[in-house]
Structure formats: structure tokens, C-alpha cells
């Protein structure tokens, strides 16, 4: 029930200005004053007999007010002729029929002491702040006034222009109009004159608020983002040092208004604008508004998100653009690249190793050539290699002899600048053969043994054995085996040969091995000591030309197998 009363009070308040709805009332000592409630309330009790009772709270108890000359209850009013300091307190009014009791309204009355030296009390005034140049009027009071009551206006307690109207009009306010205006209503009652005052402090400010204080916080910007990400664009405007009701802040997407946010997640548009909010930081007032983008799309990257801040003539804008971001967290492509590299690197390493192994010989030769490396200088040896070609007279083969005495020296000596000692060619018969062999092997850096099935004679074996002995035991001479013909059975060879690492064997592949850039020569050169050469670009030797090449022609007389 009391709620209904309250609602009715509010509705009535809008229509009945003569009875202001106020809960706490300040009043000056010695002035006429009244409390009132809305009469229409009584309609509810029309069928019933009721009484109206005014109460004042005294020591926590509601005490009925005793009417006197000074305090008069009249219709819906409780009048004070005049109010006194002792009247301060809580008041209420109730309706009561036989069965029910309703409190209609309550007030707190606060009677202020009159300032003896002034026409007003500075705790009992309202302040109105206005801008110069505007029109304004000051209202005296909402108190109900009879026609024969008179009004006087005072400015700073001096009679103001003999003004007697209820409203004081200013067509154009000026700073000089600032002051404290007091309006005094004189009321005649039972042969006496009472009065009621109302004081307004008027402050007239020099200028309209500076429109230039309007300012968007931050500049145009590009926000790095990613497709599918949520973005919240924040636009904040600086309003100045007090609220400006007429300022507006809003977002535009390519010149069109975005939808408003609903606050319901399922029904939220993909891009929506929130309500603007006012913030106060210290004495500065800001207004801020958010634009929510649920999931950034490719299209959004091309939009202009414009924040507009507007007041009167002054407009400021800020444009925000979205851009595909660079590195945030760990982007997928970086991760992919890293993974690919991680997988690729071992592959590349393996490939490089494979390449090095495959082309080891080429690389070494290339390197030797590049650095003009020379392993032969200063070791006191005369020959680069001692070639052991020992034909068995019993079964001589032309091919083998031609290889040992013509092709081998042709290429190694003429083309690659090595110096060979071929016993049959260089150390012709005469002298102690075995001693010669020993001393020649000693003077050579390598011992080239041309292996063949024919390499079987005891004497040949001796030469081979002594060379092997030097190489394997004394480690003075390195051995190179040339397998001239495919050998299926190594058992005829000295046992110590089998100790040699297989990579020191070079296989002759007939015509395939003839060109100087063939694998055979590369392998052979690889095993030979490094020695700078002038590379002859001529890639192929015609064996038929060899006779005229200036090598010492071999002689059939140089016969190792001759008995000693």
C-alpha cells in the first residue's frame, strides 16, 4: 500500500508545483513556512470516515501536534506563523479510519538560525552557474502566494531595482550580474505581516566553455591483428573540466553507423558499438565508447573505423585501421619454417657429407691445385714414384708393358709433372740389381706396383717384398697398387700385400681409363704426393703417338729376369 502511495505522490508532484515533494527541508528561523501533502490522497478514503493527524517525533515517539496560534493545520497544510528553532524535527501525517492507520508522508525539518548581520544565511541558498551572453530568470519561490502578498528582490541584501515580480528576468547575462539574490515575500496574516525568503547565488561565467577543450585522446592508428581475433576499439574524448551534455562520441564504419551492442552474447552482431561512458580522472572529464569486433575478417582489414567526437560546431575524428600483424606469440609460418629447417638440416648435412665422400678425390685434387700444394719439396727424395713393373719373360704381354713403360709415364710425367723411376727404363741392366732396387725405392716417395697374373716370378716377388717391407715396416714409402687386369685370385701375391688398405688399389679399366681426366688418373693422382702442375687441357692421349713423345724408349735388353 505504501508503495502505491509513493507512486501517486510522484505523479502528483509533477502536476502540483505548489506542494513541492521534499523530504528534507531547510527553513530560516522567524519565517513563514508550511508542510503540505497531496489532497487527492483523500479520495481513497471517501467511503470511510477518517481523520488526519499530524505528528512530530519526540524522543523516538510520534506525538500528535497540538495546534496553537503559531502552528495551524489547515486542509493539507501544516503552517508555521513563523517557524522557530525548536520546530526542527521529524514530522509525519497519517490518515486513520477506525480500522486502519496510514502514514502519508514524512519530513525532516531543519530550522536554521538567522544571520543577524545579513539578509540571508549562506547555508541556505541555491547556486546557479550561467554563461555570460545567455538569457536567464531567477524564480522567487514555489510557495503559494496570495494575490495581496507582495514581493521584493534584493541583490547582496540591497533592494534590487524595486523589482516586485515573482521572476527576475535577465535578457542577456553579464558577469556583473553575479551576486546573491534574495527574494522576500510579505504575507499578511491575522493583522500581522510575516515573510518568507529565498536566496539564489548567481554565478555568471565570462565565456561559453571553450569549444577547443574538446579533444580526442590519441591519433589515427593502425592496429596489428589477425583474422579471427577479437578486437575492441576504444575511442576516448576529453570533455574538459566539467560535463558537457551536448557532446557526442560515436563510431562509423566506412561512413555508416554500426549496430548497437545488445549485451546478449548469442545475439550480438559481429561488430557492435557500446553505449558511451563518462569517466572522471581527477578533475578531467572524459567520454569513452567501445567498438567490439567479435572476429576480425579479411574485409575488416580494408575498413576505416572512424571515431567522431562532436560538440556544437567542433568535430574531431580519429581513424583506426586494422592491419595483418607481424609477430605475435609464435605465428604458424615461423613454426612451420622452423620445423622444415629442423627436418631439412640433417638432410642437407647428409647430402653434403655424401657429396664430400663421393667427390673426395676431386675435392682433394681441386684443393691441391688451388693452393699449389707441394708435398715433395725438401724431403730429400729424387723420384715421386718407383714403378715396379716386372715382366715375366716367360709370358710377356705387350699391353702391360706398354702401360707401364708408355702410358703411365706419359700421363704422370708429361702431363702431371711427376718424376718416375721405372727400373726397366731408367736403371738399365748392369750393377747390383737388388742394391739398385733398394736404393731407388729409398729415393722414391711412392712405390707403384702394377699387379698382374704375370707378376709371379721369384725375382719379381723379391722386389715387391722388399718394397713392401719398406712400406709396411719402415713406413718410409707408401704403396700404390695398380690392378692392371682383373685379379680373381690374390693368393699368388705376397701375404703382406693383403695388409694394405684396399683403397690404395687403383683399377685400370682399359679404354675407359685412357683420358687424363678419367677416374683412374684421378685416383692415382690422389694417392700420389701433392705436386703443383701445369694442367694440360688436352684430355686424351693417343697411344699410337707415344713413341715420338720423347720418353726414353724402353729396351728389350733391360731384362730383370736375366740371371745375376
Ligand X SMILES: *[C@@H]1O[C@H](CO)[C@@H](O)[C@H](O)[C@H]1NC(C)=O
Contact 32, 187 (CB under 8 A): yes
119-to-69, 83, 527 alpha-carbon distances in Å: 26, 17, 127
User: Which class for 205: exposed (0-12), middle (13-18), buried (19 or more C-beta within 10 A)?
Assistant: middle
Interface with ligand X (CB under 6 A), residue total 5
Asked if 300 contacts 322 with a C-beta cutoff of 8 angstroms, the reply is yes
- Cα gap 320→316, rounded to integer Å: 13
Q: Identify which of residues 49 and 281 has a Cβ nearer to ligand X in the complex.
A: 281
* Residue whose CB is less far from ligand X, 215 or 226: 215
Looking at residues 463 to 482 of the shown chain, list those that interact with ligand X (rule: CB under 6 A).
none
Of 53 and 213, which has the nearer Cβ to ligand X?
A: 213
What spatial distance separates the first Cα and last Cα of the chain, rounded to whole Å? 151
Considering only 288, 466, 496, 561, the residue that binds ligand X (CB under 6 A) is 288
235 versus 427: smaller Cβ distance to ligand X: 235
Counting contacts by CB under 6 A, is residue 517 touching ligand X? no
| Three-state secondary structure readout of 352-400 | HHHHHHHCHHHHHHHHHHHHCCCCCCCCCCCEEEEEECCCCCCCCCHHH
By DSSP bridging, strand 231-240 and strand 284-293 are: antiparallel
Q: Which is nearer to ligand X, 219 or 503 (CB)?
A: 219
In whole angstroms, how close is the CB of 323 to ligand X at the nearest point? Answer: 20
Per-residue contact string for residues 239-278; x = within reach of ligand X by CB under 6 A: ----------------------------------------
Q: Which of 217/456 has CB closer to ligand X? A: 217
Other beta carbons within 10 angstroms of residue 229's beta carbon come to 14
For the bound state, the minimum distance from the C-beta of residue 288 to ligand X, rounded and expressed in Å, comes to 5
Checking 122-128 for CB contacts under 8 A at 24+ apart, the result is 123/26, 124/26, 124/28, 124/199, 125/180, 125/199, 125/200, 125/201, 126/199, 126/200, 126/201, 127/200, 127/201, 127/203, 128/200, 128/201, 128/202, 128/203
Among residues 93 and 235, whose Cβ is nearest to ligand X? 235
Residue closer to ligand X, measured from CB, 135 or 218: 218
Residue 452: which of 395, 528, 500 has the closest Cα?
395
Please give the Cα distance from 43 to 283 (Å, whole number). 51
**Least separation, in Å, of the C-beta of 232 and ligand X?**
7
**CA-based radius of gyration for the chain:** 61
Q: Which of 67, 230, 463, 556 is catalytic?
A: 463
Minimum separation from the CB atom of position 230 to ligand X (A): 13
User: Quick one: 307 or 387, whose CB is closer to ligand X?
Assistant: 307
Question: What is the rounded CA–CA span in Å between residue 343 and residue 420?
Answer: 51
Residue 127 to residue 99: CA distance in whole angstroms:
47
Residues 297-356, interacting with ligand X (CB under 6 A): none
CA distance 554 to 545: 15
Which residue's Cβ lies closest to ligand X?
234
Torsion, CA 331, CA 336, CA 342, CA 344, rounded to 10: -150
**CB of residue 217 to ligand X, shortest distance in Å:** 5
Determine which helix (DSSP H) or strand (DSSP E) holds 424, and give its type and residue range.
helix 423-426
Greatest CA separation for the chain: 179
Distance, in Å, from the CA atom of 496 to the CA atom of 498, rounded to the nearest integer, reads 5
CB within 8 A of 351, min separation 6: which ones? none
Pairwise CA distance, residues 262 & 260, whole Å? 6
Residue 10 beta carbon to ligand X: minimum distance, rounded to whole angstroms: 36
Among the listed residues 182, 236, 388, 454, the single contact to ligand X using CB under 6 A: 236
- Provide, rounded to whole angstroms, the least separation between the CB of residue 248 and ligand X: 17
Helix axes 433-442, 458-469, angle to 10 degrees: 30
Active site residue 128: no
**Exposed / middle / buried, residue 99 (Cβ in 10 Å: 0-12, 13-18, 19+):** exposed
Q: Exactly one of 77, 132, 216, 217 binds ligand X (CB under 6 A); which one? A: 217
Q: Which is nearer to ligand X, 96 or 288 (CB)?
A: 288
Least Cβ distance, residue 209 to ligand X (angstroms): 21
Where do we find the cell 557532446? 247
Applying CB under 6 A, among 97, 118, 234, 336 the residue interacting with ligand X is: 234
Torsional sign, CA 430, 431, 432, 434 = negative
Shortest spacing between CB 280 and ligand X, in angstroms: 11
Minimum Å gap between C-beta 238 and ligand X is 9
As annotated, the active-site residues are 463
| Site residues for ligand X per CB under 6 A | 217, 234, 236, 288, 290
Amino acid at each position: 500500500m505504501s508503495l502505491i502511495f509513493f507512486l501517486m505522490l510522484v505523479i502528483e508532484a509533477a502536476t502540483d508545483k505548489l506542494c513541492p515533494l521534499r523530504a528534507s527541508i531547510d527553513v530560516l528561523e522567524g519565517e513563514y513556512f508550511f508542510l503540505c501533502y497531496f489532497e487527492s490522497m483523500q479520495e481513497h478514503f471517501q467511503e470511510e470516515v477518517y481523520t488526519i493527524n499530524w505528528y512530530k517525533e519526540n524522543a523516538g515517539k510520534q506525538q500528535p501536534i497540538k495546534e496553537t496560534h503559531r502552528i495551524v493545520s489547515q486542509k493539507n497544510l501544516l503552517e508555521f506563523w513563523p517557524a522557530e528553532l525548536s520546530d526542527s524535527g521529524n514530522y509525519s501525517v497519517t490518515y486513520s479510519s477506525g480500522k486502519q492507520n496510514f502514514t502519508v508522508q514524512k519530513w525532516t525539518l531543519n530550522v536554521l538560525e538567522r544571520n543577524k548581520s545579513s539578509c540571508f544565511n549562506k547555508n541556505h541558498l541555491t547556486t546557479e552557474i550561467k554563461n555570460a551572453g545567455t538569457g536567464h530568470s531567477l524564480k522567487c519561490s514555489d510557495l503559494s502566494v496570495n494575490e495581496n502578498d507582495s514581493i521584493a528582490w534584493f541583490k547582496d541584501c540591497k533592494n534590487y531595482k524595486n523589482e516586485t515580480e515573482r521572476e527576475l528576468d535577465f535578457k542577456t547575462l553579464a558577469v556583473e550580474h553575479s551576486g546573491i539574490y534574495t527574494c522576500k515575500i510579505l504575507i499578511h496574516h491575522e493583522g500581522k505581516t510575516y515573510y518568507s525568503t529565498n536566496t539564489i547565488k548567481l554565478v555568471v561565467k565570462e565565456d561559453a566553455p571553450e569549444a577547443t577543450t574538446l579533444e580526442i585522446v590519441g591519433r589515427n592508428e593502425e592496429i596489428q591483428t589477425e583474422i579471427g581475433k577479437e578486437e575492441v576499439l576504444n575511442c576516448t574524448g576529453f570533455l574538459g573540466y566539467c560535463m558537457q551534455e551536448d557532446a557526442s562520441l560515436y563510431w562509423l564504419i566506412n561512413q555508416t553507423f554500426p549496430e548497437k551492442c545488445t549485451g546478449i552474447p548469442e545475439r550480438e552482431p559481429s561488430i557492435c558499438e557500446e553505449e558511451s561512458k563518462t569517466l572522471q580522472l581527477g578533475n578531467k572529464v572524459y567520454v569513452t565508447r567501445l567498438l567490439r569486433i567479435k572476429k576480425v575478417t579479411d574485409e575488416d582489414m580494408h575498413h576505416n573505423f572512424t571515431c567522431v567526437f562532436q560538440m556544437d560546431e567542433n568535430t574531431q575524428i580519429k581513424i583506426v585501421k586494422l592491419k595483418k600483424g607481424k609477430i605475435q606469440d609464435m605465428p604458424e609460418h615461423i613454426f612451420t619454417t622452423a620445423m622444415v629447417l629442423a627436418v631439412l638440416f640433417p638432410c642437407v648435412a647428409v647430402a653434403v657429407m655424401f657429396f664430400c665422400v663421393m667427390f673426395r678425390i676431386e675435392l682433394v685434387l681441386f684443393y691441391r691445385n688451388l693452393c699449389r700444394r707441394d708435398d715433395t719439396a725438401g724431403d730429400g727424395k729424387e723420384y715421386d714414384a718407383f714403378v715396379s713393373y716386372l715382366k715375366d719373360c716367360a709370358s710377356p704381354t705387350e699391353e702391360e708393358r706398354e702401360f707401364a713403360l708408355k702410358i703411365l709415364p706419359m700421363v704422370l710425367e708429361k702431363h702431371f709433372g711427376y718424376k718416375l723411376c721405372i727400373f726397366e727404363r731408367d736403371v738399365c741392366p748392369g750393377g747390383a740389381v737388388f742394391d739398385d732396387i733398394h736404393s731407388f725405392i729409398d729415393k722414391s716417395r711412392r712405390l707403384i706396383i702394377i699387379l698382374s697374373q704375370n707378376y709371379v716370378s721369384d725375382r719379381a716377388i723379391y722386389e715387391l717384398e722388399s718394397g713392401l717391407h719398406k712400406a709396411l715396416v719402415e713406413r718410409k714409402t707408401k704403396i700404390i697398387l695398380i690392378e692392371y687386369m682383373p685379379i680373381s685370385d690374390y693368393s699368388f701375391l705376397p701375404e703382406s700385400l693383403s695388409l694394405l688398405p684396399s683403397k690404395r688399389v687403383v683399377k685400370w679399366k682399359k679404354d675407359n681409363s685412357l683420358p687424363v681426366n678419367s677416374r683412374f688418373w684421378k685416383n692415382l693422382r690422389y694417392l700420389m704426393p701433392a705436386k703443383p702442375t701445369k694442367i694440360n687441357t688436352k684430355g686424351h692421349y693417343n697411344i699410337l703417338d707415344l713413341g715420338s713423345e720423347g720418353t726414353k724408349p724402353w729396351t728389350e735388353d733391360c731384362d730383370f729376369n736375366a740371371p745375376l
